[in-house]
């Protein structure tokens, strides 16, 4: 079993904001593997990476992705707290992956909070109309209808909000999960600030292509 040093404990503590004893225990259980220790702390609810979200992230990188043949282009700004992390391999890979994801999944907003209130209200009205118009729901109580509407709204969010979307290269995690994982790994606040997606001929009638499926096949 690998020896757990004070330096290892301190580094893990700075990265996760977890307690010293919790960090030492996690490192011991992970046999000194820092990444495994982070996972152990997160599962135990000890990793407090959320605290880093209140800090200012003014460094980072602007990444881009151009789809094969120049059909679609994406520019995305991802922020972190230090230039050291911004230049790191994990952060640079993340920026590229996010640009590719945006290209494939076509989000409209970064966060739920970015959606205009009138858009949310309109979607909720549509969901309510669909639920009440379905004969199968005629005898269902109002609270059940409300739950159905909430479920349809969550589906809407996964379609249009970047952080809520399943990651195009791994559908078992969301983009928001990836950000949390990178935040835990780097010990810094990581956030997607903004993005722009260009599609050649957008607004013109043209043949429809499944870009998400094409990009997913390229990553296998």
User: What CATH number should be reported for the domain holding residue 40?
Assistant: 1.10.8.10
Looking at the structure, tell me whether residues 40 and 57 fall in a common domain. no
SS3 65: strand
CA–CA dist 140, 169 (Å, integer): 39
The sign of the torsion formed by the CA atoms of 180, 184, 185, 188 equals positive
Could you tell me if residue 147 is inside a domain? Answer: yes
pLDDT digits (tens, 9 = 90+) for 142-196: 888 888 888 899 999 999 999 999 999 999 999 999 999 998 888 888 999 999 9
What total number of domains does the chain contain? 3
CA–CA dist 43, 54 (Å, integer): 22
Tokens (6 digits) for 118: 């009138």
Could you tell me if residue 214 is inside a domain? Answer: yes
Looking at the structure, tell me whether residues 135 and 67 fall in a common domain. no
Domain span at residue 155 reads 116-160
Looking at the structure, tell me whether residues 16 and 98 fall in a common domain. no
Long-range contacts of 36-43 (CB under 8 A, 24+ apart): 37/12, 38/12, 38/184, 38/185, 41/12, 41/16, 42/16, 42/184
SS3 210: coil
* pLDDT at residue 173 in the model: 93
Residue 23 pLDDT exceeds 70: yes
Could you tell me if residue 1 is inside a domain? Answer: no
CB 88 within 8 A of CB 186: yes
CATH of the domain at 190: 3.30.479.20
Between 51 and 37, residue with greater pLDDT: 37
Looking at the structure, tell me whether residues 78 and 182 fall in a common domain. yes
Residue 24 pLDDT exceeds 70: yes
Phi-psi map region of 111: left, alpha, beta (phi>0 left; psi -120 to 50 alpha): beta
Could you tell me if residue 123 is inside a domain? Answer: yes
The pairing of strands 166-167 and 170-174 is antiparallel
Could you tell me if residue 165 is inside a domain? Answer: yes
Looking at the structure, tell me whether residues 57 and 97 fall in a common domain. yes
Between 53 and 14, residue with greater pLDDT: 14
Question: How many CA atoms within 13 Å lie on the side-chain side of 104?
Answer: 22
Looking at the structure, tell me whether residues 32 and 137 fall in a common domain. no
Angle between helices 6-16 and 20-29 (to 10 degrees): 110
pTM: 0.66
Residue 220 pLDDT exceeds 80: no
Looking at the structure, tell me whether residues 200 and 165 fall in a common domain. yes
Looking at the structure, tell me whether residues 19 and 126 fall in a common domain. no
Looking at the structure, tell me whether residues 75 and 106 fall in a common domain. yes
Tokens (6 digits) for 16: 């996760």
Looking at the structure, tell me whether residues 97 and 191 fall in a common domain. yes
Could you tell me if residue 173 is inside a domain? Answer: yes
The sign of the torsion formed by the CA atoms of 130, 133, 134, 138 equals positive
């Amino acid at each position: 079993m690998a020896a757990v040093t004070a330096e290892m404990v301190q580094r893990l503590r700075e990265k996760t904001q977890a307690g010293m004893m919790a960090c030492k225990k996690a490192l011991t259980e992970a046999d000194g593997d820092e990444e495994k220790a982070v996972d152990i702390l997160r599962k135990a609810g000890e990793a407090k990476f959320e605290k880093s979200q209140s800090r200012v992230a003014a460094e980072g990188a602007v990444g881009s992705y151009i789809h094969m043949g120049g059909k679609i282009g994406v520019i995305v700004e991802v922020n972190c707290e230090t230039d050291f992390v911004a230049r790191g391999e994990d952060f640079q890979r993340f920026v590229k992956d996010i640009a590719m994801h945006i290209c494939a999944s076509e989000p409209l907003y970064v966060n739920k909070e970015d959606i205009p209130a009138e858009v949310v209200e309109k979607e909720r009205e549509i969901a309510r109309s669909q639920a009440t118009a379905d004969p199968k729901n005629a005898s269902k109580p109002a609270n059940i209808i409300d739950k159905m509407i909430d479920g349809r709204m969550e589906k809407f969010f996964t379609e249009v909000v970047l952080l809520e979307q399943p990651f195009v290269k791994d559908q078992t995690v969301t983009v928001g999960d990836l950000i949390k994982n990178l935040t835990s790994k780097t010990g810094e606040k990581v956030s997607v600030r903004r993005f722009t997606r260009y599609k050649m001929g957008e607004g013109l009638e043209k043949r429809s292509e499944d870009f998400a499926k094409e990009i997913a096949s390229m990553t296998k």
